[in-house]
Amino acid sequence: MDKKLLNAFIISVFLHIVLVFVLFVGDFTPEAKPKKNTAIAQEVKPIQATVIDANKLQKAINKIKKQKADDKAAEKKRLQNIEKRASDAKKRRTKEEARIKKLEKQLKKKEQEKKRADKAAKESSKKAAKADKIRKQKEQEQQKSEDAAAQART
> What was the pLDDT predicted at 30?
67
Burial state string for 117-141 with b = 16 or more CB within 10 A and e = fewer than 16: eeeeeeeeeeeeeeeeeeeeeeeee
For 89-104, write each residue's pLDDT tens digit: 999 999 999 999 999 9
In this prediction, what percent of the chain has a pLDDT beyond 70? Answer: 88
How many Å apart are CA 149 and CA 141, to the nearest integer?
Answer: 12
Could you list the pLDDT tens digit for every one of the 154 residues in the chain?
A: 688 889 999 999 999 999 999 888 877 666 666 555 555 556 667 778 788 888 999 999 999 999 999 999 999 999 999 999 999 999 999 999 999 999 999 999 999 999 999 999 999 999 999 999 999 999 999 998 888 888 887 7
> What was the pLDDT predicted at 45?
75
The predicted model scores a pTM of 0.41
77-to-48, 65, 71, 81, 85 alpha-carbon distances in Å: 45, 18, 10, 6, 12
